[in-house]
C-alpha cells in the first residue's frame, strides 16, 4: 500500500509542470483602444435615428461613424493631413465632408455612401468656407476665391464665380423661392451679400450688395432671415434687399420653418405666441425644422412648433455643465437623443434625459505614459505570517493545514486556459498609465481579457496647477507625477488617488519613505528631469544646450551636480536626438557572439555611451556620433549624404548595437545597424571585465531597405536578456511589426556564399538589401492603428514579464495598443498541441502496468530460485 501511495505522489509530481500558460495565448492577447479626438467646434453632428448612427469630424482629422446605441466606432477614416476647419452635411443617402488643411494648401470635398465607401473626391486649391444642402439633391460649396460649386450626387460639378476673392467665411441659406443667398466675410471689405437665382433649373449670379453690419455680428442665416446680435433682418426677394431690423432681446434663438424662436430666461417666444416654463432655458436646439428642444438645468422640454408653444413631452435634465457643443435628434417614437461634448473632451449621449454612453477623448492629447506592475494585495499573507509567528507550534501547524485544505478545495481544474492568478504569477498583468494634456490619468490592463477597457481614470484638482507633464515609476508600484507648475506628486494609491506633495522646483524630496534614496536631477535650464535612486550615483548624463552643442554633467554621490565637458558641432548642424543606452536592459546575459568555429567576438559593452544625431540642412547630410558621456570623447562617426525627411530619423541603442532609420527621398525607408565589438578578430578581448572601457570599439555596419515609412523603433526587453532581441517597428501605415535582430545583422555575408563555419553560426545568413516582413511578424495583425499628427515623444515601450521568453509591447500614438511577443519563441511555455490528457493516461497506464507486472516478475524469480 505504501508503494501505491508513492507511485501516486510520483504521478502528481510529473503532472504538476503541465499547469502552465499555453503559447497559443501569446498571439491572442492583443487589444486596441480606439481614439477619435474632440469634435471640431461649430461643425454639424448628424445623429440619425433610423440608421442608429452618429457622424462627425474630429480635430485629429478623423471622419467617424459611431453606433448610436453604445458609442462604439463603426467606421473611421483619417485624413493624411490635419484640418484647420471642416464642414459636414448629409444629402439624401450621401454624407459630404469639406475639409481645409492646416498647412493652407487647399481643401477637399468628398462624398461618402451609406456603406462608408468613398464615392468621389474633389481637391481644390482654395479653402472651403461654407456648404449647403440643397433640398437633398446636391451640395453647394463656397470657396475662399468666391467660387460656388454645385456638386450633384452623380454627374459633373458646376462652378459659378461670384467675382469676389479673399472670402474668409460664409453663411449660406436657401430662400423660399429656391434661390440661394450668401453672406460673405471678405478680406478688407464689408460683409457682402450675393443672391444666386434659379432659372430653368440652373443657378445664375443675381444681385450683390453690402450689408451694413460687420460679419462678426452675424449669428446665422436661415431661409432669408439674417440673425445678428442686434436682431433679425428679413430678406425681401422682390426688392432683393434686407428690410429693417426687428430688434429682439433674446439670449438664445433658432430659426424654424414657422419663423424665429427666441428664449429669454424662462420665456420662449415666437412672433405670434409665447410660453413661460418652470425653469430658465440654458440652450435651444431645433430638430427636423419642426421640433424645438429647450434645455433647462432641471428638465428638458420638447415642443412641436406646428402645434404651438406648449411642450408635449418632458424629459429629465441633460447635464450641460461645462459643455461646448450639443446636437439632438428625434425618432418616430419621439425618443430624444442628445449628443453633448464637454470642455474636458468627454462626449456623452443622453437618451430621453438618461445617460446612454460616454467617451472621453482626452486620450487624443497624450503627454506621457508608463507601464507599471499590478498592485497585489498581500494583506492576507502578512496576516497569516503574523499569526504563525505568535501562535504555538501545534496551533500554527493546524492553521497551516486548514489553509492548505481550503486552497485544495477551492482549486479550479481548467484545461482550456489559465486563470487570473496565473497571469499575475507570470507577470502578464501590468497597468498602462496614460497622462493627458488636460490633467487626466487613465489606467489600462495590459491583458486582453478586458479588451482595452479602461480600469480607472482620474483628474487633477484645479489647485494642482496646469496638468501633468511627466510620469515616473519607482520600485514598480509607485507612480510619481510631475506637473508643469507645482512640481512632483506621489500617488500613494491609484484606486483612491491619495496624493502627497513630493517636491517643487527648488526643494528637495519631501516624501519620508524615499528621502534617503531619491533625489532630483535638473537640466541647465532648471527643469526637473529625473528622479534617481542613489544607488545609480555618481551619474553622468548629456544634455542639449543649443541647436549645435551638448554639455556633459555629473551628479556625484554627494548629490552635487557639475559640468565636465562641452562639445560643439559644426554651425550648420542641428541636433536631432540624444539617445543613451536604456537602464532597463543593463543585464546582459551574453558578452560575446559565438561563431561557427566556436570562437567568440566580444561585444563592446560600455554603459556610458550616448548616440547623438545631427542634420546639416545646407549640405543635406545626416551625422551620427557615438560619444562617451564621462569623457566627451567621440568614439565613432558616420554620415548619410542623401536627401531625406528629417522628421523620419529614428535611433535606438541597446547592448552593443545601434539601429537607426530614415526616409530617403530617393530610395524610400532605409534602416542601418551598427554593431560594436572590442575587436573584429575572434577571441581578442581588451576589457577584462572592467565596467568602463578606455579603448575605441571596432565597428561593423550594414544598411537595409524596408517597405513602409517607420514612425518609431524600440528593442524588446526581457527579464534576464537571455532571449534574442527583436526590433519593434511602428509603421506610418498603422501596423506594428517585429524584426528579429539576427535579420538586422551587420555581419551578414555579402557578395559570396557562406563558408562551412559561417553556416554553423546561429542564424547567420547571406546579405539581402530588402527586408520583407512576413505576415506573422505583424503584431497588430488585422488591426489598423491611427496615429496622432503631432508624434509623441514616446510611441513604443517594451517591458519584461516573469517569463524570460515573453515581453509586453505597448504603443500609445492616438490609438492605444498592447500585445505580447516572444522573440525566441515560447521556450518556457508548453505548446498548444501538447496533449495533457494523453500524458496523464500514459503515466497512469505505466503505473498500472508496473503494479501488474511487478508481482508477475517476483513470482517468476521465485520459481526460478526453486528450480535451482
Give the long-range contacts of residues 186-194, CB within 8 A, separation 24 or more.
Answer: 190/214, 191/215, 191/218, 192/164, 193/242, 194/162, 194/164
What nine digits make up the cell of 542? 548629456
**SS3 label, residue 576:** strand
* Cβ neighbours for 664, distance < 8 A, ≥ 6 positions apart: 642, 643, 644, 670
235 is a domain residue: yes
Q: Please provide the DSSP assignment of 139-165 as one string.
A: EEEEETTSEEEEEESSSPPEEEE-S--
27 is a domain residue: no
738 is a domain residue: yes
> 97 exposed, middle or buried (CB, 10 Å; 0-12, 13-18, 19+)?
buried
pLDDT at 272: 84
60 is a domain residue: no
Distance CA 171, CA 189 (A): 16
Q: Note down the domain range covering 611.
A: 537-821
Phi and psi, residue 499, nearest 5°: -120, 135
Residues 733 and 841 reside in one and the same domain: no
Domain stops at, among 212, 247, 282: 247
Collect the ranges in the chain with pLDDT lower than 50: 5, 7, 9-23, 26-27, 415-417, 462-463, 465, 485, 501, 504-517, 525-526, 528
Residues 834 and 698 reside in one and the same domain: no
- Confidence (pTM): 0.85
Residue with cell 425644422: 289
Residues 613 and 567 reside in one and the same domain: yes
- The domain tally of the chain equals 3
Distance CA 638, CA 665 (A): 19
Distance CA 456, CA 434 (A): 11
**SS3 label, residue 334:** coil
Distance separating the N- and C-terminal Cα atoms of the chain: 31
Q: Which of 97, 91, 94, 124 shows the shortest CA–CA distance to 110?
A: 97
Residues paired with 299 in a beta bridge: 316
565 is a domain residue: yes
CATH number at residue 688: 2.130.10
pLDDT at 155: 87
480 is a domain residue: no
Residues 577 and 547 reside in one and the same domain: yes
pLDDT at 10: 45
Residues 639 and 668 reside in one and the same domain: yes
Residues 787 and 839 reside in one and the same domain: no
pLDDT at 259: 80
What nine digits make up the cell of 754? 557562406
41 is a domain residue: no
Residues 629 and 736 reside in one and the same domain: yes
Pairing of strands 770-771, 698-706: parallel
Give the CA count within 13 Å in the CB-facing half-sphere of 688: 3
pLDDT at 487: 58
**By the 8 A CB rule, do 54 and 65 touch?**
yes
**Strands, DSSP E only, in 391-452?**
430-436, 440-445
Domain stops at, among 217, 247, 277: 247
Distance CA 375, CA 477 (A): 6
Distance CA 85, CA 127 (A): 9
Residues paired with 73 in a beta bridge: 66
**Total residue length of the chain:** 868
Residues 802 and 835 reside in one and the same domain: no
**Beta-carbon count within 10 A of 568 CB:** 11
**SS3 label, residue 243:** coil
115 is a domain residue: no
Residues 751 and 866 reside in one and the same domain: no
**659-669 pLDDT, tens digit each:** 999 999 999 99
Residues 699 and 740 reside in one and the same domain: yes
Residues 803 and 730 reside in one and the same domain: yes
Residues 815 and 845 reside in one and the same domain: no
Domain stops at, among 231, 247, 263: 247
Amino acid at each position: 500500500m505504501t508503494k501505491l501511495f508513492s507511485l501516486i505522489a510520483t504521478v502528481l509530481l510529473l503532472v504538476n509542470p503541465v499547469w502552465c500558460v499555453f503559447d497559443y495565448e501569446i498571439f491572442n492577447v492583443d487589444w486596441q483602444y480606439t481614439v477619435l479626438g474632440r469634435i471640431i467646434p461649430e461643425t454639424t453632428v448628424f445623429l440619425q435615428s433610423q440608421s442608429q448612427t452618429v457622424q462627425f469630424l474630429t480635430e485629429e482629422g478623423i471622419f467617424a461613424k459611431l453606433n448610436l446605441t453604445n458609442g462604439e466606432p463603426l467606421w473611421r477614416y483619417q485624413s493624411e493631413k490635419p484640418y484647420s476647419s471642416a464642414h459636414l452635411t448629409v444629402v439624401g443617402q450621401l454624407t459630404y465632408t469639406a475639409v481645409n488643411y492646416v498647412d493652407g494648401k487647399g481643401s477637399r470635398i468628398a462624398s461618402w455612401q451609406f456603406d462608408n465607401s468613398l464615392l468621389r473626391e474633389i481637391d481644390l486649391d482654395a479653402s472651403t468656407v461654407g456648404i449647403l444642402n440643397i433640398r437633398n439633391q446636391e451640395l453647394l460649396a463656397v470657396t475662399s476665391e468666391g467660387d460656388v460649386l454645385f456638386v450633384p450626387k452623380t454627374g459633373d460639378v458646376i462652378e459659378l464665380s461670384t467675382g469676389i476673392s479673399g472670402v474668409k467665411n460664409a453663411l449660406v441659406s436657401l430662400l423660399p423661392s429656391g434661390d440661394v443667398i450668401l453672406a460673405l466675410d471678405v478680406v478688407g471689405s464689408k460683409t457682402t451679400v450675393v443672391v444666386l437665382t434659379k432659372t430653368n433649373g440652373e443657378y445664375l449670379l443675381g444681385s450683390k450688395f453690402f450689408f451694413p453690419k460687420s460679419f462678426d455680428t452675424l449669428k446665422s442665416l436661415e431661409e432669408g432671415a439674417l440673425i445678428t446680435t442686434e436682431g433679425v433682418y428679413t430678406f425681401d426677394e422682390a426688392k432683393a434687399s434686407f428690410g429693417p431690423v426687428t430688434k429682439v432681446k433674446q439670449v438664445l434663438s433658432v430659426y424654424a420653418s414657422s419663423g424665429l424662436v427666441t428664449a429669454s430666461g424662462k420665456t420662449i417666444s415666437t412672433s405670434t405666441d409665447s410660453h413661460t416654463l418652470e425653469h430658465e432655458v440654458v440652450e435651444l436646439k431645433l430638430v427636423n425644422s419642426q421640433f424645438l428642444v429647450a434645455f433647462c438645468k432641471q428638465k428638458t422640454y420638447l415642443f412641436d412648433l406646428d402645434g404651438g408653444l406648449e411642450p408635449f413631452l418632458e424629459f429629465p435634465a441633460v447635464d450641460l455643465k461645462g459643455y461646448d457643443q450639443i446636437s439632438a435628434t428625434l425618432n418616430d417614437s419621439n425618443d430624444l437623443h442628445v449628443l453633448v461634448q464637454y470642455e474636458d473632451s468627454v462626449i456623452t449621449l443622453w437618451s430621453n434625459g438618461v445617460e446612454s454612453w460616454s467617451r472621453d477623448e482626452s486620450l487624443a492629447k497624450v503627454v506621457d505614459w508608463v507601464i507599471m506592475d499590478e498592485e497585489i494585495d498581500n494583506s492576507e499573507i502578512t496576516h497569516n505570517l503574523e499569526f504563525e509567528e505568535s501562535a504555538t507550534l501545534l496551533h500554527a501547524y493546524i492553521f497551516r493545514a486548514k489553509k492548505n485544505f481550503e486552497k485544495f478545495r477551492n482549486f479550479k481544474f481548467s484545461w482550456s486556459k489559465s486563470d487570473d492568478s496565473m497571469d499575475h504569477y507570470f507577470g502578464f498583468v501590468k497597468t498602462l498609465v496614460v497622462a493627458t494634456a488636460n490633467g487626466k490619468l487613465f489606467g489600462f490592463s495590459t491583458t486582453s481579457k478586458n479588451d482595452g477597457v479602461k480600469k480607472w481614470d482620474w483628474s487633477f484638482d484645479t489647485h494642482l496647477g496646469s496638468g501633468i507633464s511627466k510620469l515616473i515609476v519607482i520600485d514598480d508600484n509607485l507612480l510619481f507625477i510631475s506637473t508643469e507648475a507645482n512640481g512632483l506628486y506621489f500617488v500613494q494609491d491609484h484606486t483612491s488617488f491619495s496624493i502627497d506633495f513630493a517636491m517643487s522646483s527648488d526643494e528637495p524630496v519631501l516624501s519620508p519613505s524615499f528621502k534617503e534614496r531619491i533625489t532630483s536631477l535638473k537640466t541647465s535650464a532648471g527643469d526637473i528631469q529625473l528622479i534617481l535612486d542613489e544607488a545609480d550615483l555618481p551619474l553622468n548624463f548629456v544634455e542639449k544646450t543649443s541647436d549645435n552643442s551638448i554639455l556633459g554633467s555629473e551628479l556625484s554621490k554627494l548629490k552635487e551636480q557639475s559640468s565636465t565637458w562641452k562639445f560643439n558641432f559644426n554651425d550648420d548642424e542641428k541636433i536631432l536626438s540624444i539617445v543613451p543606452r536604456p537602464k532597463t536592459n543593463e543585464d546582459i546575459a551574453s558578452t560575446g557572439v559565438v561563431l561557427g568555429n566556436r570562437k567568440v567576438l566580444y561585444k563592446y559593452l560600455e554603459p556610458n555611451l550616448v548616440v547623438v544625431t545631427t542634420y546639416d540642412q545646407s549640405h543635406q547630410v545626416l551625422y551620427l556620433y557615438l560619444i562617451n558621456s564621462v569623457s566627451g570623447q567621440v568614439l565613432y562617426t558616420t554620415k548619410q549624404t542623401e536627401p531625406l525627411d528629417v522628421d523620419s530619423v529614428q535611433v535606438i541603442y541597446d547592448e552593443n548595437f545601434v539601429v537607426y532609420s530614415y526616409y530617403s527621398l530617393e530610395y524610400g525607408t532605409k534602416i542601418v545597424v551598427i554593431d560594436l565589438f572590442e575587436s573584429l578578430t575572434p577571441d581578442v578581448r581588451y576589457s577584462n571585465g572592467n565596467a568602463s572601457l578606455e579603448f575605441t570599439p571596432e565597428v561593423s555596419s550594414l544598411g537595409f531597405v524596408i517597405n513602409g515609412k517607420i514612425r518609431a523603433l524600440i528593442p524588446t526587453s526581457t527579464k534576464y536578456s537571455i532571449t534574442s532581441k527583436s526590433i519593434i517597428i511602428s509603421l506610418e501605415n498603422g501596423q506594428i511589426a517585429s524584426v528579429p535582430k539576427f535579420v538586422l545583422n551587420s555581419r551578414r555575408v555579402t557578395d559570396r556564399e557562406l563558408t562551412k563555419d559561417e553556416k554553423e553560426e546561429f542564424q547567420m545568413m547571406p546579405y539581402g538589401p530588402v527586408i520583407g516582413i512576413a505576415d506573422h511578424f505583424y503584431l497588430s495583425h488585422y488591426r489598423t492603428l491611427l496615429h496622432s499628427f503631432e508624434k509623441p515623444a514616446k510611441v513604443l515601450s517594451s517591458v519584461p514579464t516573469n517569463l524570460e521568453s515573453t515581453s509586453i509591447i505597448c504603443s500609445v500614438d492616438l490609438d492605444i495598443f498592447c500585445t505580447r511577443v516572444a522573440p525566441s519563441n515560447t521556450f518556457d511555455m508548453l505548446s498548444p498541441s501538447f496533449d495533457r490528457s494523453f500524458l496523464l493516461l500514459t503515466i497512469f497506464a505505466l503505473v498500472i502496468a508496473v503494479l501488474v507486472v511487478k508481482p508477475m516478475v517476483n513470482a517468476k524469480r521465485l520459481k526460478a530460485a526453486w528450480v535451482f
